Structure 1
């Protein structure tokens, strides 16, 4: 169980730097808005295919643990080479590697953890919370600590921070070796039956709402740091905003069992979409640091509550024998396609409008996702899970 927790610790430490700092670094390198949009849109474009492919391979060949071991190692090597070369084309190669090998780790790690929790009657949320803790601590301590080293140049500080990404991926490789993977022992579904599983109108609408939700989050992961930087906020303030955003999310994961028992899945899902929209509208309409800081607390509902609800829904509707396929297909549609479309929309927006307008568009996307969720049949939310606790 500790190795599974460490998987999240090291992977989300990597994400803490990748999400909050890399786009700002590309701006410092002088890359144009179109170049940055291309780098961030190519990852989900590639991962759409790679998620589905590797999820299917993991189920058919029962090699989920092997993929969880070697993918972060490949990513670590690729990031190291890209940073040493430090040219635009090297970051393109890095993006290709992230799309093929690193991005699928989201779903593969979750599917391995959920299977363990089902068989051992453990809480998924209490393992997953360590990812949130490490993401917050990375931004709260590591990034500011490096930038307080005033005896070093800004360029040295930048690259010290960047080289932590392959370091954390290497640690994720080591924790993967010790992880427990419980593979399904029976036959898996054939491809035809797997496709039929996703023809449910409720599941399709759920995927659609999640995809639009994923589109809106591109504004945060790609443009939040540059937006604050354009208003003159320091990197320390930006790092603190990233650190505080998942703070209360820790409690959501820790007490996920109680939350999911007390509230209906439909209510939790829809409320999370509305609060996400509120967050984007607040960010787009203020330059006040206190208000911006406050808006980050809404991440607890916009992502934390949303995520535990999604995991529960997938556990209910996706059989264990296709757990990896189900998780990766959901990631392919909700995250990959959402990010592709989000990067296209926001990339176009940045070329023609001020950065604050990006978050207004994101707010309307969240409202659109909420409207789509209203058409999901009530029976979809009420279906009961026949497997042990996975919260």
Structure 2
């Protein structure tokens, strides 16, 4: 079926007990087993039934099946946060002594995982511009086991050519490609179709869409998902709560209409900001001025609701603008139905040094906007009145 129909109906588990129209919530930690033999069997074959909700739960299982369907994957694994999904996916394909390659623009906590945590376990890394596949090729070593790409990238919306990278990576035996597709959601982009081995999402964001849960998900082949589930999920314990999974599924029913409105509004806001005298630069892949515009057109079905902008006047101007918005809420995170504004250098990317940030165009005067589904004219008016507060600061 078409995508808007799929997000509503695909893999929905019908309630055989009472015929509930909405999928039931199985808020339980454990399950009563029929007899000793079933207990032994299911504990050794956890994908054939339910024993304990850390290993599997009917509500979480339905969410996982929906994501697998939308990402054209064999299987998926829900986790307690986006970073839980990222760390579990990464740890399931690497070990001590391995080398990883990752993009120079990625979420700050992912950057910290790669540069501050994994080196303590003897995992080496190289940072490259993943919009340049040749830079990835040049960085590959005999012990390289993972190429990690975030596209669209947080916060400058760099777009990496997933298919070109996959073609290059898979010329080398044993290297996996993981793509963080949080900014796009499955509605705008399907990395597995382009050759990625695993795709990760912070389900906190567009999949939920209402800012009510913290969750993550990994999708890919059944073999790789099984590898991530056991023993990594079993031992890390980053388990997705059934109620969170149930809430995300309610949010996903409007994923299509939300993403269409996010994209429509963001294009209008980006055009407004690009022409504003107080803005130095707008980072939005829907603009022809964005260096990744053509790649985005090729691999995405829309340009999304995220953008960043450099405000003239630096940090002092940013403070004035962020304190003056009335419709945009000053908050980290993204993908909500309502619009959010944040200062990436001190919020999502505080783990990077100023030199590391500036090297990849994350400047002190930069704000990131998560454009919601409000009326676009109201969003533009709000930004206009907030930007007007910095005239004195700049002039």
TM score, norm. by length of structure 1: 0.29
Q: Which has the higher strand share?
A: 2
* Structure with bigger gyration radius: 2
TM score, norm. by length of structure 2: 0.28
